[in-house]
Structure 1
């Protein structure tokens, strides 16, 4: 069956899309406000978009009252932020950091998370996150332009931290060791390493 999303209210359209476009990686974003307050929040509208230059995208949906998320405001003001990837071991802390708190309160303190310094920017990473991407704002676009419901954020990845214990025998990231989680519909999550299989890409395709 076909479902015309224009005939649904925003809530039902959201539920359908987030229940079908799965799994979605989680960007656990640490950012600093212009006043120096450290913020941490998870976003599942997130993906890598190109490798030349290394660039990722995050969409920060507006709050229920229509106001912007602290993460979006911070990134626009200071330009730098860190995308931490979430292991299963930190799922509860990630969920705690999703709580709505005043802008002058840090979710690092709320979730009792240790910070670690970044290599090129002031914004710290989550110390126990297996992977962290140091990012600098390339473009922040309110969308849709006439009545924004979010900001689409493009950022260049300056540096990548990975815990050496997460590498395999060839020096590459091991998905089983990282044990990252992703979002599915509703309040559901999945473990990326739960069921991995390999498919070699065809060398060429011959048209008959």
Structure 2
């Protein structure tokens, strides 16, 4: 019988035209991270390796991954969080997708991506970095820890996972319906692997956990 699956060991190569890993690991929420450097200059950058890792207290994390070809993995967001211990995660809606993509552009250290993308900043309440005013929601975070990743042989990968505890939550009133955040109305954008592949959430279905 023919094996119904295609198998490969990533350490030996995938043997396909494009690496399927990021396409399989989908959809992924986008961590649109606002931070400040030690001089108070704003940085805004999206991270597709982002998610929540605890609910009480709420903890989120993003991964700053080494670019192909090596180099310093400490991109501005990571460097800023190391220096200040604070960041904000802004909700990426379909309305803001193009602006989010604009903040991917390589810019000199200290340049304001928020201004480049034509975004208005709004003050945060518990942390110094501002939030994106038009974002449906924003999570103010204080740094818990930074984890340096290694492979199975213990070799450094150059990537860092930044974990922060949420100390403040902003939700735009139009997305609160009877006390519930209306995810579908906010139209979140997710990363779906391969270059330029994104998805938009416009509908939900309910499936409750079984009871014993």
TM-score by length of 2: 0.89
Q: Give SS of 1:149's match.
A: strand
> Which sections of structure 1, spanning at least 5 residues, go unmatched?
none
Number of aligned residue pairs: give it: 200
Q: Is the Cα–Cα contact under 8 Å of residues 63 and 69 in structure 1 kept in the other structure? A: no
> Which sections of structure 2, spanning at least 5 residues, go unmatched?
1-5
The reply to whether residue 138 of structure 1 matches residue 147 of structure 2 is no
* Correspondent of 2:204 among 186, 190, 196: 196
* Correspondent of 1:18 among 14, 19, 22: 22
- Give the superposition deviation at 1:106: 0.8
* Correspondent of 2:53 among 23, 32, 49: 49
After superposition, the C-alpha distances for 1:9-51 in whole angstroms (9 at most, x for unaligned) are 8xx8x93211101000001000001121100000111111112
The answer to which structure has the higher helix fraction is 1
- Give the superposition deviation at 1:87: 0.5
2:115 match: 109
- Give the superposition deviation at 1:93: 0.3
Q: Is the Cα–Cα contact under 8 Å of residues 15 and 185 in structure 1 kept in the other structure? A: no
Which moves more between the two structures, 92-101 or 63-72? 63-72
1:100 match: 106
* Correspondent of 2:41 among 37, 49, 67: 37
1:151 match: 160
In 1, Cα distance between equivalents of 2:109 and 2:132: 19
Q: CA RMSD in A?
A: 1.7
1:185 match: 193
Q: Is the Cα–Cα contact under 8 Å of residues 40 and 108 in structure 1 kept in the other structure? A: yes
- Counterparts of residues 40-79 of structure 1 (less than 5 Å): 40-64=44-68, 65-67=70-72, 68-79=74-85
After superposition, the C-alpha distances for 1:86-116 in whole angstroms (9 at most, x for unaligned) are 0000110000001111112110111011000
After superposition, the C-alpha distances for 1:122-170 in whole angstroms (9 at most, x for unaligned) are 11000000010000000011212632321111110001100011011x2
* Correspondent of 1:80 among 75, 80, 86: 86
In 2, Cα distance between equivalents of 1:2 and 1:151: 28
TM-score by length of 1: 0.91
Q: Give SS of 2:139's match.
A: strand
2:173 match: 164
- Give the superposition deviation at 1:177: 1.7
